[in-house]
Amino acid sequence: MDWDKIGLKTGLEIHQQLDSKGKLFCPCNCELTDEEPEYNIVRRLRPTQSELGKIDRAAFEEAKRKLKFYYQAYSDHTCLVEADEEPPHPINSEALEIAVTIALLLNMKVVDEFHTMRKQVIDGSNTGGFQRTGLVATEGYVETPHGRVKIENLCLEEDAARRIEEREDGIVFRLDRLGIPLVEITTDPSIKDPIQLKDVAYQIGQILRSTKVKRGIGTIRQDLNISIKDGARVEVKGVQDLNKIPEIVKREVQRQLKLLEIRERLKKRKAKVEDKIYDVKEIFNDTKSKIIKSAESVLAIKLEGFAGLIGVELQPNRRLGTELADYAKKRGVTGIFHTDELPAYGISRKEVENLIQHMQASENDAIIIIADEKSKAEAALGEVISRARMALEGVPEETRKALEDGNTSYLRPLPTASRMYVETDIPPFKIGSNMIKRLKKELPELPSEKKERIKREYDLSEDLASQLVRKGLAEDFEKLAKLNVENTLIASLLAYTLQELKRESHNIENLKLKDIIGALRLLEDGKISKDALRDIIAYMADKKVEPLKAAKELDLLLLTREEVERIIQGIMEEKEELIKERQMAAMGPLMGEAMKKLRGKADGQLVNQILKEKIKKKLTSLE
Amino acid sequence: MGPKKHERELIKMAYRGLAKKVLEKESIKIGDRIRVERDDISYEGMLLDRPEDADDKHLVLKLDNGYNIGVEIEEATIELLEEGSRPKIKFPPVDVERNPQLPDISIISTGGTVASIIDYQTGAVHPAFTADDLLRANPELLDIANIRGKAIFNILSENMLPEYWVEAAHAIAKEIEDGAWGVVVAHGTDTMHYTAAALSFILKTPVPVILTGAQRSSDRPSSDAHLNLISSVVAAKSDIAEVMVCMHASIDDKSCHLHLGTKVRKMHTSRRDTFKSINTTPIAEIKDNKIRILRKDYKKRGLEELRVRDKIEPRVALIKTYPGINPEIIEYYIDKNYKGIVIEGTGLGHCPENLIPAIERANEMEIIVAMASQCINGRVNMNVYSTGRRLLRAGVIPVADMLPETAYVKLVWALGQSNDPETVKRLMLKNIAGEIEDRSSLRHFQG
Ligand SMILES: [Zn+2]
């Protein structure tokens, strides 16, 4: 695709949890827990009134749902702060220092004084009804192969509560994640190429990994900002796999282009969306559709001029109808049908005809049916009406969720900017030039620098050096490299062998660094052979035993020269005929015999050497 | 009538020192759009106010992305870009017709912000006082009552004074005379139980008088204010003609308890369910706007004639004893001509022996000395140990299962009712407003 011509503009928002001791505003543990909750706190949130009479769109959306929230809490794992039962403690200065360090690595300008703000979020994910956040730095950049990309902002904020389930009467959250410090990094939204977008995400990710941040699933989250000319800004939440970024962008562009196409077709047909909701229960009195039959009420709307367009595919397997259904589902309904897909699902041709007649629809019109409780169905059709109207305008500004396959689905309207006010419970924190100077001195080595250095210092291949850095094993490597063992062997042990063993379902997680040092020491002292290392480590992991014990139990300790000579002598006596017959050419088969007995217990070269000498001697004596 | 007395500000805001000088020099005011430039960085945004206790070397800017930051100004140049127009807090009046089917409930505000409005542009939080403000923030109130609103003070509850109790009592009485079916008093939570006790003694009321407030400020979506206020209005419509406190029953947004004004105490610094009935059971629970009576011994609506017994004597001290307490503390109050002292003693009602001579002297001076317990739960009994008996001999009145704060408030009131020490002593030992119960139930201490 010609991204320039389409006017593609993209940007990134990266959320990364920090690995500080304690949460941002209380001293609770930053680990998640799977234990049974000890408390279930019931709460309701209300949007607060803004003086300017402007109620935030996203906040209003949630308010309409009037949901109850349940918060799972613990005596030891969470405290009154997460439960919104105690004011926040002073800000965790370690977390602030990590955030400033990241800002410096991203070449950013750090603010003089950090002010904590409240960002209103009333979807229940924050017990207070707002997320605490503050601006740490602005105006930075990262270099990519496609050129420099600006970093606009870095904020330090608290993570939200963990959504556990959605019940009929409310959403259940767990408080373990609420308050874990995280940084939000926002790039300039003018990246014009999906590949570059992925590269920026990767670069920032690498920089983050050089600092004190959490590792593992769910500790980093990428959001994408995507827009095209004549389209609209869409925020895609929750991208887990960086490699999917180009595909997600491609499919979003495709979706927006299709929506623009639909808009043109709707215009030509003079399409209209009327407010009238029809009660069509009677038409389905004898229906075979179970959903419709069992519903308290069956309501429908007419979308004039939409016929055939509801079924138009926007993304693989997602149609305009899917978008309408996304909006309806926000009201908790499931039974939604449109005439582009009917008759089907137990709804007969006759019923469709009756419906069209009853609603006086023309062949150009589409009909949407929702079967559910009356109030729910009404509310859901209200959503469909407003989404259908947006189709007349083109692409709505939305927050969307990244799906597994690279598609996206509707989450909520894009939040408006005016929903922040100061957190009065926390005084401003002066960052000051001394703190900056100190942190500048302690800046960690960037991944790219680290890779170049270990490659040079330890004479490693490009591949091994970059594997070690990428997998976060460089520090372990540098510790092990102090042993008198080949660097390449250590590096490939860390970068590859351990992973192979894991794949073969050995319990690698039982191994500590000191266990690996122990095993390498055996090699260093000449007690085991290089070939035996892998088996010994696997055995240690599975049986949780000391290296020496593992070597002994596996019978992999190297034999002394005398013992090796004795064994070889024995083999030669057995195979005397062969030696007589084939002279030096017996070397091959005899070596094979010897290694069968000595593998892992003697160095191959040594065996080779002894065998050669002995055969020579034998042949001399035979002459 | 607008709010009066000390302007209520949670955090005092003002520029001072260097910052003030710089702003004055450039004629920059709060709300103006300015640029601050220094070294290699330049910030543009709206100038906001700054907490008075913060240093004078930073300006607070609200950037276009909504975030506030502090910008150091010592080596910066500051430029006015555009004068700000402060948006006026003005709403069209709420146009509500009185619903003759619903009772009239008065909401009196003393400074506890049960409703507030946020100005997202500047981030300022404005407390809401008028009935209109309350209704805008809590439109559901219209379904249960006709609301009349009145602000009598605008103070932090820690700045409450005994004189204000009397003023509040008169304001409540006025509402009742004007036909209020019940009165709700919005109050800061810190001293709400003192005011509740005071109103219990001062007022004889034929209608419910409900004090309520918020532990989480009303500017946040999670505020407890909404449920507390709605439940209070429900309570004000009930037939329980007592002075009561209505606050969250648990940390859930599920129900509120109605506590008798003389038996309630703030028991936690921050939790929503901070108010607990001590040595007794709450009168009722309010859940989903419905009232469930928990004990039947309350005064019914319409039985009492409205009366304001408004004489008080503020020269009363409340002293907590502790190991090592200096008896001069008591001497001080005697010398300052105080008329009453409530001692918050240890255990069953004791204090170190070295206080006894001072207490004897107080008794000789006809100063009333009452004994409550710092255990909070339980009742004093001064016959069990010899110190107790000596204190009784020294003229100390044991106030049974009365809360120390209630005993203090009651003594302020009782000394206003009579000059005769014996009468005052008799009043202190007589149950006036539910403050003394004879029976101690096993139910009342959860351990
Ligand atoms: Zn905590």
| ∠ CA A453-A459-A463, rounded to 5° | 80
Mean of pLDDT over chain A: 89
- Top pLDDT among A148 and A599 is at A148
Nearest to A395 by CA among A320, A303, A308, A313: A320
The gap between the terminal CA atoms of chain B, to the nearest Å, is: 47
Four-residue CA torsion sign, A470, A471, A472, A477: negative
pLDDT band at B159 (very low <50, low <70, confident <90, very high): confident
pLDDT band at A125 (very low <50, low <70, confident <90, very high): very high
Instruction: Using CA coordinates, name the residue in chain A closest to B214.
Output: A85
Please confirm whether the linkage preceding A88 is cis (ω < 30° from 0): no
Among A175-179, A295-299, A303-307, which range has the highest average pLDDT? A175-179
The pLDDT of residue B2:
39
Structure tokens given for A226 = 């995507």
DSSP state of A559: P
Instruction: Using CA coordinates, name the residue in chain A closest to B219.
Output: A48
CB contact under 8 A, A109 and B87: no
Residues A526 and A564: beta-carbon distance below 8 Å:
no
| ∠ CA B44-B45-B50, rounded to 5° | 125
Residues 107-126 of A with CB under 8 A from B: 109, 111-115, 117-120, 122
Pairing of strands A398-402, A234-239: parallel
User: A445-453 long-range CB contacts below 8 Å, 24 or more apart?
Assistant: A445/A210, A446/A105, A446/A206, A446/A207, A446/A210, A447/A206, A447/A207, A447/A209, A447/A210, A448/A206, A450/A210, A450/A474
Task: Please give the share of chain A, as a percent, with pLDDT higher than 70.
Answer: 96
Provide the shortest C-alpha distance from residue A511 to chain B (in Å). Answer: 45
What distance in Å separates the CA atoms of residue B336 and residue A223, rounded to the nearest whole number? 69
What distance in Å separates the CA atoms of residue B428 and residue B399, rounded to the nearest whole number? 7
Query: Which of A117, A157, A421, A434 is most worth mutating to test chain B (most B CB atoms within 10 A of its CB)?
Result: A421
The arithmetic mean of pLDDT across residues A547-562, rounded, is 87
User: Could you tell me the distance, in angstroms and rounded to a whole number, from the CA of residue A87 to the centre of ligand 1?
Assistant: 11
Tens-digit pLDDT profile for residues A348-396: 899 999 989 998 888 899 999 999 998 889 989 999 999 999 999 999 9
Written as one letter, the residue type at A112 is: D
Q: What Rg do the C-alpha atoms of chain B give, in angstroms?
A: 26
What distance in Å separates the CA atoms of residue A266 and residue A364, rounded to the nearest whole number? 10
CB contact under 8 A, A44 and B55: no
Q: Which residue has the tokens 């140990």?
A: B385
Nearest to A359 by CA among A351, A367, A370, A348: A367
Tens-digit pLDDT profile for residues B82-119: 998 765 555 556 667 788 999 999 999 887 566 666 66
What distance in Å separates the CA atoms of residue A136 and residue A155, rounded to the nearest whole number? 5
Q: Which of B130, B189, B191, B280 is the catalytic position?
A: B189
What distance in Å separates the CA atoms of residue A559 and residue A104, rounded to the nearest whole number? 56
Our answer to whether residue B266 is catalytic in this structure is: yes
The arithmetic mean of pLDDT across residues B141-145, rounded, is 88
Our answer to whether residue B113 is catalytic in this structure is: yes
The pLDDT of residue B8:
47
| Sequence spans of domains, chain A | 3-233, 266-409, 447-553, 562-622
Query: Which of B18, B69, B223 is most worth mutating to test chain A (most A CB atoms within 10 A of its CB)?
Result: B69
**Chain B CB contacts of A153 below 8 Å:** 65, 67
- Residue A167, judged by CB atoms within 10 A of its CB (0-12, 13-18, 19+), counts as exposed
Tens-digit pLDDT profile for residues B212-261: 999 998 878 899 998 999 999 999 999 999 999 999 999 999 999 999 99
Our answer to whether residue B189 is catalytic in this structure is: yes
What distance in Å separates the CA atoms of residue B435 and residue B432, rounded to the nearest whole number? 7
The pLDDT of residue B373:
97
The arithmetic mean of pLDDT across residues A48-56, rounded, is 46
HEC readout, B64-75: CCCCEEEEECCC
Provide the shortest C-alpha distance from residue B204 to chain A (in Å). Answer: 36
**Chain B CB contacts of A428 below 8 Å:** 51, 54, 58, 60, 70
A559-591: string of b/e by CB count within 10 Å (b at 16+)? beeeebbebbeebbeebeeebeeeeeebbeebb
The arithmetic mean of pLDDT across residues A212-235, rounded, is 91
| ∠ CA A207-A213-A216, rounded to 5° | 100
Tell me the angle at which helices A374-393 and A320-329 cross, rounded to the nearest 10 degrees. 140
Measure CB to CB from residue A52 to each of B11, B87, B116 and give the nearest one: B87
CB contact under 8 A, A114 and B69: yes
Cβ-proximal residues to B50 (8 Å cutoff; 6+ apart), any chain: B13, B14, B15, B19, B58, B59, B60, B70
DSSP state of A6: H
Our answer to whether residue B190 is catalytic in this structure is: yes
What distance in Å separates the CA atoms of residue A367 and residue A383, rounded to the nearest whole number? 15
Nearest to B373 by CA among B364, B362, B382: B382
The pLDDT of residue B4:
45
The pLDDT of residue A287:
87
The arithmetic mean of pLDDT across residues A72-92, rounded, is 96
The arithmetic mean of pLDDT across residues A162-176, rounded, is 92
Mean of pLDDT over chain B: 90
Q: Which residues pair with A422 in a beta bridge?
A: A117
Tens-digit pLDDT profile for residues B299-332: 999 999 999 999 999 999 999 999 999 999 999 9
The arithmetic mean of pLDDT across residues A252-277, rounded, is 92
Phi, psi of B228 (to 5 degrees): -60, -45
pLDDT band at B138 (very low <50, low <70, confident <90, very high): confident
The pLDDT of residue A582:
84
pLDDT band at B9 (very low <50, low <70, confident <90, very high): low
Residues 203-222 of A with CB under 8 A from B: none
Measure CB to CB from residue B119 to each of A45, A52, A118 and give the nearest one: A52
Task: Count contacts between A and B (CB, < 8 Å).
Answer: 147
Task: Please give the share of chain B, as a percent, with pLDDT higher than 90.
Answer: 73
Provide the shortest C-alpha distance from residue A412 to chain B (in Å). Answer: 19
B16-38: string of b/e by CB count within 10 Å (b at 16+)? eeebeebbeeeebebbbbbebeb
Q: What's the pTM?
A: 0.80
Task: Give the homologous superfamily in CATH for domain A266-409.
Answer: GAD-like domain (3.30.1360.30)
What distance in Å separates the CA atoms of residue B128 and residue B145, rounded to the nearest whole number? 19
Q: Which of B190, B239, B273, B310 is the catalytic position?
A: B190
A588 touches chain B (CB under 8 A): no
DSSP strand E in A38-91: where?
Answer: 39-44, 68-73
C-alpha B290, offset from chain centre: 25
| Local structure of A235: helix, strand or coil | strand
What distance in Å separates the CA atoms of residue B137 and residue B130, rounded to the nearest whole number? 11
- In chain B, the domains with their CATH numbers are 17-82 (2.30.30.520), 104-308 (3.40.50.1170), 316-429 (3.40.50.40)
Provide the shortest C-alpha distance from residue A81 to chain B (in Å). Answer: 10
Residues 20-79 of A with CB under 8 A from B: 41-54
Q: Which region among A207-221, A510-524, A593-607, B286-300 has the lowest average model confidence (pLDDT)? A: A593-607
Q: Which residue has the tokens 């190991």?
A: B323
